[in-house]
Structure 1
Amino acid sequence: MTYKYKKLFEPIKIGNVEIKNRFAMAPMGPQGLGDAEGAFNQRGIDYYVDRARGGTGLIITGVTFVENEVEPHEMPGVPCSTYNPLHFIRTASEMTERIHAYDSKVFLQMSAGFGRVAPPPKGNRAPISASAIPNRWVDVTCREMSKDEIHHIVKMFGEGAANAKHAGFDGVQIHAVHEGYLLDQFAISFFNHRTDEYGGSLENRLRFAREVVEEIKRCCGDDFPVTLRYSPKSFIKDWREGGLPGEEFEEKGKDVPEGIEAGKLLVQYGYDSLDVDVGCYDSWWWNHPPMYQKKGLYIPYAKIMKEAVDVPIICAGRMDNPDLALSALEDGACDMIGLGRPLLADPDYVNKLRAGKTALIRPCLSCHEGCLGRMVKSGSLNCAVNPEACRESVNFLTPALKVKKVLIVGGGVAGCEAARVLKLRGHEPVIYESKDRLGGNLIPGGTPDFKEDDRALIAWYENTLKDLNVEIKLNAEVTKEVIENNSADVVIIATGSKPKILDLGDNSKVFTAADVLCGKKQAGDKVVVLGGGLVGCETALYLKKMGKEVTIVETMDTLLASNGPSCFANLGMLLALIKYNHIDVLTSSKVIKTTNKGVLVNTKDNGEREIETDSVVLAIGYNSNKELYDSLKYEVQDIRLLGDARNVSNIMYAIWDAYEVASRL
């Protein structure tokens, strides 16, 4: 074992449950991993077991519900330990037994409900909350819960925890006095306007959470660990408006002094560990940090709580850098490291770290495309860079029945993923890349400082393909004749895409975003970015951070209306950063032509106006580069088209499509 990280592999106890190392799988919504009877399906079982097999000491499941009456949930959504207890115990027992085979422990995360942060239920039912307050997403007022409903949920926590214990879970985690979920809505005075014993003083606002832990301990015994997902600060500026890192504002939610006091009380009530983060649905980019948040963003808050209470503190939040994780332990900021999305990206993270193979740990991009974005879009948890995540029993690699020589044209993510999968199956792939390095459009995309994980993904492919002894030919331009004279059994065309170009008259100061990001062209002090999609907005933010005066011109009514992040945490933070950094924005506008002073723009409201600028940066999309494929599709017997060359999309679909095709050859 690499001695440097020894402390990360020391055992620790939560209550009287000993965990073999300092890594916990952070809870992530298990959408798609439950069945219609409220149990874990086979995908869910295999998913959690695979992270235990990968070395993680403590598995904390994603959210499960304890009841389905006060706040009804459609099935199958996520598991519910009280919906069909016998079936839940039967399926969960298989999961816990298999997890224990790897000497890992497993806690069931149990939720009181979502309250105001859930989409309104169908029909005329109002969403519930502590008080009659606005729903997070739509203009609907929540219904204040009755005391009988609170008592019912508390009772179901006890029954659900008893079912979990019967099924072999080593403990439970309560969801949550964090992120503005139902228990947090009771805890925060901004949300809780009650005048009974569940409102008013801090002790009263925490009464619901206190009764939950006391009921579980009554049903399961004092030695059954009950941990709590906990946020000591909310970052709420106002309803549906969150604060940014470094921004000065009046905290409307829970602030640190009250967060410390509340944490002390919760531990006094019986919680055996606090799993610490910050944020709320109104500031979603804190609880679900995009790449625009720094690594280890929760460490200062974890340390505050560590100094305030005497139970183990778990800290997640972009903690995938092992040096950062080690320093957090050594500095006394926390006792355990929570890994959520990093374990989606690479279930073997912990074992690879223990074996000193850090270069082979597949990085999480903090893109939310495969996880939170997919959950919202299709109700399914997955991972952009790992096509096997949550599909371990469906997407698994089998040895090739017949070894084939495969020529891959293009060393972007699609070409690299295809080569990786083919080699693992026993085929003989060769990558031909026209440039001097692998990466394709990830190279310009990974230039901004906040895109460090894009750069890490390129490095991971380079290291992984080297480890697999995949042959790579760089600076190798492939023509139709090269392929026709090659003896390959299969040809994969993954030639990517090229930036769209627009003729604006005098194009001497008109550059593509890719050329500016790669340093081939230098933008002046005043820049107009043409295009307000993801590339345009990130390029504008990058240039603004370099000290330039930046204006975004977008033809649509809003920024990021097309080709934007699918997850609101990423989209919302990027929009907020553009506003916070004083980047000028012209929507419903169109650049007509360049002028001596800059560009002439036609705006929706004010007609034509001239903007003084030194440079125009084009971020208006990409065109598939498939000329080579078109010249060969009737000449080569087995030819495949992958990635942007087939359809301009994002990193996730380039990887997923490549995995799908290469796993079936």
Structure 2
Amino acid sequence: MTNTPQTSHTSYPRLLSPLALRNLTLRNRMVMGAMHTRLESMDRPVERIKAFYRARAEGEIGLIITGGISPNRAGRMEDDAPAMTADADLDWHRAIVDAVRGTDTQVCMQLLHAGRYAKFEGCVGPGTLRARINKYTPRALSTQEVRDTIADYARAAVMARDLGYHAVEIMGSEGYLINEFTAPCTNDRSDAFGGDFEGRIRFPIEIIQAVRQAVGPDFAIIYRISALDLVEGGMTGDETLELARRVVTAGADILNTGIGWHESDVPTVSHNVPRAGWAYAVRRIKAAVTIPVMASNRINEPAVAESILASGQADLVSMARPLLADPDFARKTRQGQAQRINTCIACNQACLDNIFKHKTATCLVNPRAGRELDWVTHPASLPKRIAVVGAGAAGMNFAFNAAERGHRVTLFEAGSEPGGQLCLARNVPGKTEFDEMLRYFRGRLTEEKVNLRLNCAVTAEHLASGNFDEVVLATGVRPRQPDLPGVHRSDVLRYDQVLSGAPVGERVVIIGAGAIAYDMVEFLLGDAPHTPPALADFAMEYGLDISAQSAGGRSPRPERLAARRQVTVLQRSERRPGASLAVTTGWIRRDKVLRFGVPILTGVTTQRIDDAGLHYTTLDGKLATLPFDTVILCAGQEPVRELEAQLHRTAPGLPVHVIGGADNAAELDARRAIEQASRLALAI
């Protein structure tokens, strides 16, 4: 162990306290939870994996849990996913262990059998019921194959120990194989591993027992238990507590808590889930056992983590995506610099969405995540005077990254505050996490001494005469104004006007059905703008049993949500509404619009707007009219880049770069804008 200074901030005494058990000595109670990164599928995988985990270890996280490694080939998530088999490539495992060497961080291998979630022909499960989220139907494991799988877990755990891992975590939640055995809805077996409660929990208990016997008494075992299945026919609260007690008796040292199956109709990690929203279920498990319990899901700041520990709801906190957003989360916590943490905003856009698209995980607010080898910040060989026009996500990100390298950056913003479209997005219910992004970006501007000029609508002449070496245009987008008779009426508003507080009537027609239109429905019909999600409201909306005692932790879910207005959405195309929404959060938004009872008319061509209403034609050429109090335009955006042509005329030799929405206004894509800005800042 190194002699890293251990001065800690008094605001987080429990979070920063050490924990020792078996062979584990954790410097603090913060754990980097397991997540799939797909780094092993990139070029130079061993180097990339080592750099990724090394950055988190140097950031002082107490324990790192790897992404799931299958104990055998049948349990792989995908054909090219790793498994602990006799012919496995162990070089990148050695790289992970080597990544934490010389630090006070310890590392744990997660053993995960995907079961019926595996994305290939021939996947297996306790039975033959196909998962709703998988096109492949599983083959039921025979009794002998179940016993062979138990032996595979034990063998894989020994391999992990011998490779130098400090612990193993047995993944028993989120609807993977072990969880499929424990839940009545997926276990219809009639052998010793099915039937009643005793039969259903036999598989995990025998796995833990076999692993303990194989690794010996001096090696830590973590079991990730499903605190809430959140599916019909899941385990009851009493069954979950009894399983927790049996897991302890079988030999586990720490209980980690998982929330919800991947096929559940309840969001578990997106931004509309309250922070620490699942602590009520973790608390029950903590009260039932004598070993440390770990809380997880939607814990993204030190104060939230400390409150969970201080209230006795858990002993450790698991944070996966927050360590993508900021690998130095734990160190900044120890130093009392929580305001400098680049907070995870639970958007899923660059992490989980990328994984579902078979891409490598990274992070919207920190595009360096997973690219540590490629995105190395180094001082500029020739510091330059750079003007940046527009202080939205792209402009701010470029400005502080370029200034960090030694460039002298002046950031011009026509408005009264930096933030651009982020200042509007934060007003959508459930998107208050954008406040954290704004806080961090604005703080970095100050840290890096960027010259921020607000209320300054800069001209090409000003830039040309300002002695700048280069200009970066991050001037963003403007809402597209359709060429439509009546569009300039006072009762026709742009989406930015509505999000900025313009009054809206009771009968609303929205033109356009993209992501902004879904935001607008949420803004008009959902919770109060800019109010953090409340647990009671969230539980009522999604049918959660806060006592956590019912099967799956569910209660009746309302089929309809109360709507404060009458809203109709018009979509020009014929495709399925919401098809362009993000992979892992789009279903949440489509479901909400459906339950609000909002009709989305597809294949519609708007003709004109007048006192009689909004006139449109349908696919079959029929003319129809919708009466309204307010029409809201969500018909796309167009880039604001007039300065580019003006600069080329005024200062033809001045290098000009266009980034963010000004470069591509097809969607309001903060992920692309921030990544593009960061790349440019490293290149100049």
Q: Could you say whether these structures have the same fold, taking a TM-score greater than 0.5 normalized by the shorter chain as the test?
A: yes
Match of 2:675 in 1: 656
Give the Cα–Cα distance (whole angstroms) in 1 for the partners of residues 101 and 450 of structure 2. Answer: 36
State how 1:227-376 maps to structure 2 within 5 Å.
227-236=222-231, 251-283=232-264, 286-287=267-268, 289-376=269-356
The answer to whether the 8 A contact 1:30-1:44 is kept is no
Offset, 1:203: 1.9
State how 1:525-604 maps to structure 2 within 5 Å.
525-545=506-526, 547-556=564-573, 557-562=575-580, 564-565=581-582, 567-568=583-584, 570-596=585-611, 598-604=613-619
Give the Cα–Cα distance (whole angstroms) in 1 for the partners of residues 288 and 569 of structure 2. Answer: 46
Give the Cα–Cα distance (whole angstroms) in 1 for the partners of residues 86 and 579 of structure 2. Answer: 40
The residue matched to 1:452 in structure 2 has which SS? coil
User: What letter corresponds to residue 518 of structure 1 in structure 2?
Assistant: S
Residues 528-569 of structure 1 show CA distances to partners (whole Å, capped at 9, x for unaligned) of 22222111112101210253332222223322223x21x22x
Structure 1 pair 550/257, CA: closer, same or farther in 2 (3 Å)?
farther
Give the Cα–Cα distance (whole angstroms) in 2 for the partners of residues 361 and 424 of structure 1. Answer: 16
The residue matched to 1:311 in structure 2 has which SS? coil
Give the Cα–Cα distance (whole angstroms) in 1 for the partners of residues 263 and 621 of structure 2. Answer: 34
The residue matched to 1:508 in structure 2 has which SS? coil
Q: 1:383 and 2:363 equivalent?
A: yes
Aligned residues: 634
Structure 1 pair 284/167, CA: closer, same or farther in 2 (3 Å)?
farther
Residues 129-180 of structure 1 show CA distances to partners (whole Å, capped at 9, x for unaligned) of 11010233355532111223222322222222111111211101112x2111
Match of 2:126 in 1: 130
User: What letter corresponds to residue 580 of structure 1 in structure 2?
Assistant: R
Match of 1:64 in 2: 69
Structure 1 pair 422/504, CA: closer, same or farther in 2 (3 Å)?
same
State how 1:13-28 maps to structure 2 within 5 Å.
13-28=20-35
Match of 1:645 in 2: 662
Give the Cα–Cα distance (whole angstroms) in 1 for the partners of residues 167 and 304 of structure 2. Answer: 28
The residue matched to 1:390 in structure 2 has which SS? coil
The answer to whether the 8 A contact 1:600-1:609 is kept is yes
Match of 1:4 in 2: 11
Structure 1 pair 161/605, CA: closer, same or farther in 2 (3 Å)?
farther
Q: 1:223 and 2:241 equivalent?
A: no
Offset, 1:2: 2.8
Could you state the TM-score of these two structures normalised by the residue count of structure 1? 0.91
User: What letter corresponds to residue 493 of structure 2 in structure 1?
Assistant: F
The answer to whether the 8 A contact 2:117-2:134 is kept is no
State how 1:121-160 maps to structure 2 within 5 Å.
121=120, 125-138=121-134, 140-160=136-156
| Aligned-pair Cα RMSD in Å | 2.2
State how 1:146-225 maps to structure 2 within 5 Å.
146-175=142-171, 177-225=172-220
Offset, 1:339: 1.1
The residue matched to 1:8 in structure 2 has which SS? coil
Structure 2, unaligned runs of 5 or more:
1-7, 529-563
User: What letter corresponds to residue 434 of structure 1 in structure 2?
Assistant: A
The answer to whether the 8 A contact 1:202-1:262 is kept is no
User: What letter corresponds to residue 568 of structure 2 in structure 1?
Assistant: T
The residue matched to 1:29 in structure 2 has which SS? coil
Match of 1:245 in 2: none
Give the Cα–Cα distance (whole angstroms) in 1 for the partners of residues 389 and 110 of structure 2. Answer: 46
The answer to whether the 8 A contact 2:34-2:66 is kept is yes
Offset, 1:70: 6.5
Offset, 1:227: 0.9
Q: 1:419 and 2:399 equivalent?
A: yes
Structure 1 pair 295/69, CA: closer, same or farther in 2 (3 Å)?
closer
Offset, 1:499: 0.8
Give the Cα–Cα distance (whole angstroms) in 2 for the partners of residues 254 and 295 of structure 1. Answer: 24
Offset, 1:491: 0.9
Match of 1:247 in 2: none
The answer to whether the 8 A contact 1:277-1:301 is kept is no
The answer to whether the 8 A contact 1:71-1:128 is kept is no
Give the Cα–Cα distance (whole angstroms) in 1 for the partners of residues 308 and 621 of structure 2. Answer: 53
* Greater CA drift, 178-187 or 135-144: 135-144
The answer to whether the 8 A contact 1:526-1:615 is kept is yes
Give the Cα–Cα distance (whole angstroms) in 1 for the partners of residues 317 and 419 of structure 2. Answer: 31
User: What letter corresponds to residue 548 of structure 1 in structure 2?
Assistant: R
Structure 1 pair 605/203, CA: closer, same or farther in 2 (3 Å)?
farther
Match of 1:244 in 2: none
State how 1:95-114 maps to structure 2 within 5 Å.
95-112=96-113, 114=114
Match of 1:117 in 2: 117
Could you state the TM-score of these two structures normalised by the residue count of structure 2? 0.88
